[in-house]
Chain A
Amino acid sequence: MTDCLLTEKKALFSDGANTELRLQRNRNRRVSFLNGNPVGNVRTETKGVSARVYADGVYGFASMAEDSCEAVESVLRAASENAAFLSRHAGRGKGMLPPLAPGKLDTALALNDVEQRRYIEYAKEVDEYIKKTYPDLLSRSVVLSADSIEKQIVVSNGTDSCSSLPRSYVYLFLTGETKDGRPVELFDVVGGFGTFDVNFKSPADCFPTVDKLYRRLREKCEGVYPEAGEKTVILGGILSGMLAHEAVGHTVEADLVLAGSVAAHSLGKRVASEKITMVDFAHTALGERVPLPIYSDDEGTPATDAMLIQEGILTGYMNSRETAEHFGMTPTGNARAFLFSDEPLIRMRNTAILPGSDKLEEMIASVEDGYYFLDTNNGQADTTGEFMFGVTGGYEIKKGKLGRAILDTTISGVAFEMLKTVDMVSDRMVWASSGMCGKKQPMPVGMGGPALRCRVTVGGR
C-alpha cells in the first residue's frame, strides 16, 4: 500500500471534528488436515478504506471495499453525514478531543506472502509424522494459520502511521481414548509474531511438541476428574495470562468501566495481593519485544504501556482518546479496529502479570492437596470480574508432589477476590498470542504471566 493516497486527502477533513482515515488489508492463509483428510485450504483477503468523524460527542463512520480516490472521498463524506445525523438526534454538546502532538511512524514490515503449496506440504508432513509415530490415536488434526493486518492511518491530529501485524501458527489436536472408550483431547500450538517462512523452517521443528503432546495425552487418558470445591492450586503461565486478559483486563477497559464494570468502584483500591503487578504492554516488556507489538493505535495515539495493577492496587484503565478525556487519564494507544470496516474499540495489546521471585518447584512442593493447572481451551469473564476458564490439562498435587493427570474441568472465581489469595508468584513467565479476543470484533492479542499459587473454585464433576 502507498501512503500518498491518504495523506493528500487530509485536506478534505472537516474543521471542528476529529477525523481518522484508514486504508487496511487483512490476509489469512489457512490449511487444515483432519485424520489426513484435507478439510481446509483457503486464502482470504479483505481490503478497503474507512473514515470516522467525531463531532458533538458522537461518531460517524463509513467504509468501502475499495481503495480508490473516489472511495476515500465517499467514506469521508458518508462518515461526516452519519456524524451529523447522530448529532441532530443525540448530540452531546461536546467539542473536539484534546489534541495530540503531530507525528509520523512507519513500522510496517515487508511481508512475504507464502505460497499455499508450502503450507500444505508442511501440514502434510507433520500429519504424516503423527500418523506414523502414534497409530493408536483416535483422531488427529493439524491446522496451519497465517494472518496479517496492514494499516495506513492519517488523523486530524496525532500520529499518522503505517504498520503491520503478521502472525503464524501450527495448531496440533490429538484425541485418544480412556479405558472405557471415552474420547480425550489435548492441543498445543507453535508459532507467534512473524510470517510463516520466518517462523517455520522445517516440519521436524514441530515434532518435539507433537511427542510431548502425545505423552501428556496418554497420561490424560489415564486421568481422573478433579474433586469439586475451593482448592489451593498452581495456575501455569498460560492460565495466569488468561486471567490477566479475561478476568481483569476486560473489566479495566474504560468503555466497559463506563458500562458499569466492577472496576468503576475500585480505582486506587486494593484488588490483589501485593505480589501482583499487571501491565498492558505496547511493544516491549522486560527488555524484549512482546508477542504482538503495537507502536501507534488507530486514533493516532502513540502506544505506551498501560499500568493497570501495581503491587495489588488498581492504578489505571485502558482508554481511547474519548474515554481518557472522560476519566482525566492519558491515552496509551489501545484503540484498535480489526477489519477496514470496523471502528476502533478499546482493546488489549499484550496484557500480563509480571513474574515474581518464587521457583515453580518450590511452589508445587508447598501444596499439600491441590492441583497444577496448565492448559485451557476457553475463558470467559463477566464485567463483575466473575470468571470461568475451561481447564484441559494438569495434574493433581498430593503432599507436594505431582500426581495423576486430570481430565477436563472448569475453574471459576471472582478476579478481585481470587487475586488477593495469590501468595506465591514464579520467576518465569509464559506468553501466548495464538488466539483472538472477541469484543464486537475479533482481535489478535498477547497475554502472559508467571505461575501463581492461589485459591480457586474447581468445577469437578
Chain B
Amino acid sequence: MEELKKTAKEALEALKKEGADRAKCDVGESVTHEFNVDGGNFSLFRTLFDRHLILTAIKDGKKGTVRQNRYDAETVKEAAKSCLETAASAQADEAWDIAPLTENRDFEDGVPTPDLDRLFFRCKELMEDIGKRFPKVLMEQMIVSHTEEKSVHANTNGVLFSRRQGEYRVSLMFSAHEGEKTSSFFGSDFVTDSLEKPFLSCGSVKKDLSDAEKQIETVGVNGKFEGVMILTPSCLTEFLYYTLENFAGEGALLSGTSPWKGKIGEKVASEELTLSVNPFDPRIVGGERVTSDGFPAENYDLIRDGVLLNFMASLYGEKKLGVKRAPNSSGNFVLRPGDKSLEELIASVEKGILVGRFSGGEPSSNGDFSGVAKNSFLIEKGKLAGALSETMISGNLADMLKRISGISDTPVVNGDTALPYVAFEGITVSGK
C-alpha cells in the first residue's frame, strides 16, 4: 500500500509540475480468481492481475482525465503530460473541483485473501445441489470470483485514502427444461465475504431456481387489464436504477428533463417509501468508503416517508446546479420493509402480475416505460395463476412510486442491496 501511496503522491507532483491548479489521482492493483461453468460444465479458471491509474487535472477551470492500466514511473510521467494536454483543450467550467481535506483514513475490509479450494468446493456443491433439488435446471453460465483490490485516492488538497478489500461474487444464469420446452433464462447474483454457507442459501438463489422450474409451462394474458405489479427485489433494483437515473440523476438534472427538479422536500412517492443508499449497512459487502469525488462516503436517505431529500449529484452537480452533493456515489439501496409477508402481499391482489425480470426499452425521460414481463407470474384473486409468456407491462415510473399498495416485511439481502418485494397499482398488463 505504501508503494501505491508513493505513486499517487508522485503523480500529483507530476500533474502540478505540468501546470495543474488542482488534481486528483486514483491508483490501484487487483488480483481476480474466477471459476466459470458453461452449459452445465466447469469450463474455465482464470487469474487476472490488473492495475489502474486515473489522473484528473483542472487548470483555469478546464478539466481533463486520463486512464491507464499501469503506473510505472514512465507511464505516470506521460499520463500527467497527456492529462494536462487534454485539460488544456477543454472548455472552462468553474463548477469542476476536487474534495477538500477532511479526515484521511486507511480502510481494510472484507476477505482480502481468497480460499480457492473452499471456493471451488462451494461451486461444486452448488452444482450438485442443483442437480439433486432442481433437476430441470440447466446452468447456462456460472461465474464465481474473488477479487482482492488495493487502491489509493489522493488529491492536491491533501486528501489521501487507501483501501484493501476482498470479496466473493457469484453470478448465475440458468433456465429450466423439459423435453423441447424451456423457461426463459433467469439470473441470480450475490456478493459475500464468507464461505461458511452453501451458495444455495445465499441471496435469492433457491427461490430463483425454484421459480425457473415453474416457468417451463406458461399461460398468456387475453387482451389487457390495469392491475397491481409486484416486483421481486432483483427486478426492483432495475426499476430503481431507471427511476433514479431519470429523476434524481445528475444527467437528468443538467439536461433539465427531471420531473423532480426543484422538488427537494416535496412528496414524490407514497408515504410507505423510505429509500436509503447505505454502503455502511452491515448487510452490504464491500460498500463504498470514498466517493468518486474523494469525500468520505456516508449513508443517506434519498426518499424518506415519500419525501425527496436528496439528488444523486456529484461535487460538479452541486456547484453547477446549486443542489446538495449526495453523501455517497454507490448503488447500495436499502428500502424500509413493510408489514406484510410476500404471501399476504400476493393475497391482497385481485388481478395483477409478479414480475421477476423486465425486458424493456430504456424508459423515456418522463418515466414512461413498456416492456416484456419475463420470469413472471399472473396473479388472480390473491393467488399465483401460472407463469406468463409474451406479456407486456407499461406504466410511468413517477406515477408508480405514488401508487405503492404494499411492501413485504422481509428484505432479500444479496450483499449489494437489501430490498423487499414492492407492489404498485395502475400498471397496464397486455397479452397478444
Q: Which residues of B contact A58 (CB under 8 A)?
A: 42-45
Q: Kindly identify, within residues 339 to 393 of chain A, every residue whose CB is under 8 Å from any CB belonging to chain B.
A: 341, 343, 376-378, 380, 382-384, 386, 388-392
Determine the distance from Cα of A85 to Cα of B123 in the docked complex, in whole angstroms: 14
Q: Is the CB of B428 within 8 A of A461?
A: yes
Q: Is the CB of A377 within 8 A of B91?
A: no
The total of Cβ contacts below 8 Å across the A-B interface reads 239
Q: Is the CB of A37 within 8 A of B82?
A: no
Q: Which residues of B contact A277 (CB under 8 A)?
A: none
Q: Is A105 an interface residue (CB 8 A)?
A: no
Scoring A residues 21 to 49 as 1 if CB is less than 8 Å from chain B, else 0, what string do you get? 00000000000011101110111111110
Determine the distance from Cα of A390 to Cα of B364 in the docked complex, in whole angstroms: 10
Number of contact residues on B: which range applies?
Answer: 35 or more
Determine the distance from Cα of A341 to Cα of B31 in the docked complex, in whole angstroms: 11
With CB as the reference atom, state the residue of chain B lying closest to A383. Answer: B185
Determine the distance from Cα of A34 to Cα of B91 in the docked complex, in whole angstroms: 12
Q: Given A260-B140, A459-B392 in contact, is the A408-B364 Cβ separation under 8 Å?
A: yes
Q: Is the CB of B45 within 8 A of A85?
A: yes
Q: Given A41-B65, A43-B67, A383-B185 in contact, is the A260-B392 Cβ separation under 8 Å?
A: no
Q: Is the CB of B392 within 8 A of A228?
A: yes
Interface centre among B91, B120, B143 (most CB of A within 10 A): B91
Q: Is the CB of A116 within 8 A of B85?
A: yes
Q: Is B112 an interface residue (CB 8 A)?
A: no
CB distance from B227 to the nearest CB of A (A): 15
Q: Is the CB of A256 within 8 A of B257?
A: no
CB distance from B76 to the nearest CB of A (A): 13
CB distance from B275 to the nearest CB of A (A): 23
Q: Which residues of A contact B361 (CB under 8 A)?
A: 376-378, 388-392, 408, 410
Interface centre among B44, B66, B88, B428 (most CB of A within 10 A): B44
Q: Is the CB of B390 within 8 A of A457?
A: yes
Q: Is the CB of A459 within 8 A of B48?
A: no
Q: Which residues of B contact A66 (CB under 8 A)?
A: 70
Q: Which residues of A contact B64 (CB under 8 A)?
A: 41, 43, 116
Q: Is A460 an interface residue (CB 8 A)?
A: yes
Q: Given A34-B251, A138-B257, A391-B361 in contact, is the A260-B182 Cβ separation under 8 Å?
A: yes
Q: Is the CB of A65 within 8 A of B392?
A: no
Q: Which residues of B contact A48 (CB under 8 A)?
A: 50, 69
Q: Is the CB of A383 within 8 A of B257?
A: no
Q: Is A409 an interface residue (CB 8 A)?
A: yes
Q: Is A308 an interface residue (CB 8 A)?
A: no
Q: Is A165 an interface residue (CB 8 A)?
A: no
Q: Is the CB of B362 within 8 A of A390?
A: yes
Q: Which residues of A contact B91 (CB under 8 A)?
A: 33, 38, 120, 124
Q: Is the CB of B44 within 8 A of A228?
A: no
Q: Is A147 an interface residue (CB 8 A)?
A: no
Q: Is the CB of A185 within 8 A of B368?
A: no
Q: Is A100 an interface residue (CB 8 A)?
A: no
Q: Is A244 an interface residue (CB 8 A)?
A: no
Q: Given A383-B175, A384-B184, A386-B390 in contact, is the A43-B46 Cβ separation under 8 Å?
A: no
Sorted nearest first, the 7 A-B pairs with minimum C-beta distance are A390-B361, A117-B89, A259-B140, A90-B42, A61-B46, A258-B39, A139-B255
Q: Which residues of A contact B (CB under 8 A)?
A: 33-35, 37-39, 41-48, 57-66, 74, 78-79, 82-83, 85-86, 89-90, 92, 115-117, 120-121, 124, 138-139, 141, 175, 182-185, 228-230, 255-256, 258-260, 262, 265, 341, 343, 376-378, 380, 382-384, 386, 388-392, 407-410, 412-414, 440, 457, 459-461
**Apart from the given pairs A37-B93, A43-B86, 19 other A-B contacts in the complex at a CB distance below 8 Å:** A39-B251, A44-B66, A44-B67, A57-B41, A63-B48, A65-B49, A65-B69, A89-B42, A117-B89, A228-B224, A260-B177, A343-B44, A384-B184, A386-B390, A388-B372, A410-B360, A412-B390, A440-B141, A460-B394
